[in-house]
Chain A
Amino acid sequence: MTSDRKDEGTPAAAAPRKDAPARVPGQGGGATPVLRLEAVRKTFGRTVVLRDVDLEVAPHTVTALIGASGSGKSTLLRCANLLEEIDDGAIFLDGEEITDPRADPDTVRRRIGVVFQAYNLFPHMTVLDNITLAPRRVHGEPRARAEERARELLERLGLGGKAGEYPDRLSGGQQQRVAIVRALAGRPRLLLLDEITAALDPELVGEVLGVVRDLKEEGMTMVLATHEMGFARDVADQVCFLDGGVVLERGTAAQVFGDPREERTRRFLRRLVEAGRL
């Protein structure tokens, strides 16, 4: 089951996956990291949003960015997809610098899938057209093939009957799953998930997180900003705690949640426990 999923699924699944969970995340283990941030600095006017941020994301691993609102999680993801221009430092995708002004942002973005908090589906297109837009217009796939693959992905995410619907007619959870399919349709090397359950009703969160779990099983490399700590602890190989635009703490989920080194991390987690969120 998993093996034939792998063939039609993510291209990343081609590499051996057995070692992925065992490897200490961030330290690479020889393979080139899919995403690497080096001393990244980003400001909006006078506000420093990211300060000297370093991060490594190894192939087939999941990295969770946690931290309070405004700590820079979303900005980090937007910078990685070149939706924001960084002020200093460098970002590498598969070892190649993408923040070089000579690099073509469009070709970089083709290799990265993004899922947004507010879904950002195109309201004037059906679900199927939303999904096949990039494969057809950017990757030049013929309509029939793009649609066939879109239907396959929809079927797999339990949205088989929704291909002809407009996004407005779907529930939030369904819309977000369509957005995930849309991001996957371009066969990305890396998936960025920006608080994808933050706009959902509690009873719809599960269906979306289930999809992310399945993608991890298939070996997809993902970076997710999230407030779902339980989920981050379960699914992430590496957890980064951001505070005021700085990566305060970085390590395995067990280490960051179980034995945080930094006082601020401890305080953040304690607040979450008190609020019943962990």
Chain B
Amino acid sequence: MTAGDTASGPHAGAAPVAETTETAGPAGEDRYVPSARRLERERFKRTRARRATAVAALSTLVTGVVLFLAVVNSPGWPRTRETFFSAHYAREALPEVLDGLWLNLRLLVVCGAAVLVLGLLIAVARTLRGPVFFPLRALATAYTDFFRGLPLVICLLMVVFGIPALRLQGVTTDPVLLGGTALVLTYSAYVAEVFRAGIESVHPSQRAAARSLGLNGRQTLRFVVLPQAVRRVVPPLLNDLVSLQKDTGLVSIAGAVDAVYAAQIVASKSFNYTPYVVAGLIFVALTIPATRFTDWVTARMDRRRAQGGIV
């Protein structure tokens, strides 16, 4: 991490240099020749940047070595390595875990879509004005209050084991469907609050402008408020989806064979925990691109807003 941070140092230092060579081209037209002062400053910045990189590399190396030695020299290390980092069991578990992962991905896509739709509906219901909508408003408020407070694991257990226990006709007992339902129930509450924050962040003057043009309340919401609100909450929404991605692993407690459950099966046969580590690393590997994507979208939106602010 430290290396990554300071790695941008040399680039930042190098940028003016590239600029000099660039401006050297058109300099022929406006007859600009970099002054001795500028050249001296750039030399100094280059040297400083090189030194910073060297320091970062060295400190990263030292930190890595210290951590490695601390782990490897711990009294239980040989045993731990065998139990958690066994190459043999990793190879054995990988195909099973990947097989299970397919279920997690499908759950992510389906639940993600359902969460976005339901969350938006609940958020809109909470912002509706007028006495007719009172029950809807109250219901939406109660829903978000309840499901944001209820731990996801408990919600899962209640839905997955509670609903089949009712023995209702025509209601599924499929753990995947029920587990997915529980995920949607909880995440919709979070996502609804994100959407609501977005809706309330749109300045009242925008609403006034829309109403003054003769748009009614619904048209104002649809054409003016929601488009701006949704754009603003894209980064936090993506954040919630990243979180949902890893929480799909929790459907394993319902008995659905996903990546986590597949790992558990292998682990319980061999009394070796390596399959869990494999599954965990795969989840991390999946969320990293999603997280980077979120960062990128956020940065891009900040840049846009900054541009608008200059004018």
Contact = CB atoms under 8 A, between A and B. Distances in A.
Contacts of B231: 124
Given A106-B211, A106-B214, 20 more contacts: A78-B208, A81-B212, A107-B214, A109-B211, A109-B213, A110-B214, A113-B212, A116-B205, A118-B205, A122-B206, A122-B228, A123-B228, A123-B308, A124-B227, A124-B228, A134-B214, A138-B215, A139-B214, A170-B311, A183-B212
Interface of B: 205-206, 208-216, 219, 223-224, 227-228, 231, 307-308, 311
A39 B218 CA distance: 33
Contacts, number: 67
B212 A109 contact: yes
Contacts of B307: 168
Interface of A: 78, 81, 83, 105-107, 109-110, 112-114, 116, 118, 120-124, 133-134, 137-139, 168-171, 182-183, 186
A168 to B, nearest CB: 4
A81 B211 CA distance: 9
Nearest to A112: B212
Contacts of A123: 228, 308
Main secondary structure of the interface of B (DSSP, over half): helix
Contacts of B308: 123, 168
Given A83-B208, A120-B205, A138 B213 contact: yes
A103 to B, nearest CB: 14
A199 to B, nearest CB: 12
A135 B107 CA distance: 43
Contact of A116 (B208, B224, B227, B228): B208
B49 to A, nearest CB: 35
Contacts of A183: 212-213
Nearest to B231: A124
A48 to B, nearest CB: 22
A137 B224 CA distance: 12
A116 B308 CA distance: 19
A133 B223 contact: yes
B223 to A, nearest CB: 6
B214 A116 contact: no
A134 B223 CA distance: 10
B273 to A, nearest CB: 50
Contact of A137 (B209, B211, B219): B219
Contacts of B227: 124
Given A138-B219, A168-B308, A169-B311, A109 B214 contact: yes
Given A168-B311, A169-B311, A122 B209 contact: yes
Nearest to B208: A83
Contacts of B211: 83, 105-106, 109
17 contacts: A105-B211, A109-B213, A109-B214, A116-B205, A116-B209, A118-B205, A120-B208, A121-B209, A122-B210, A123-B308, A124-B231, A133-B213, A133-B215, A134-B214, A137-B223, A138-B213, A168-B311
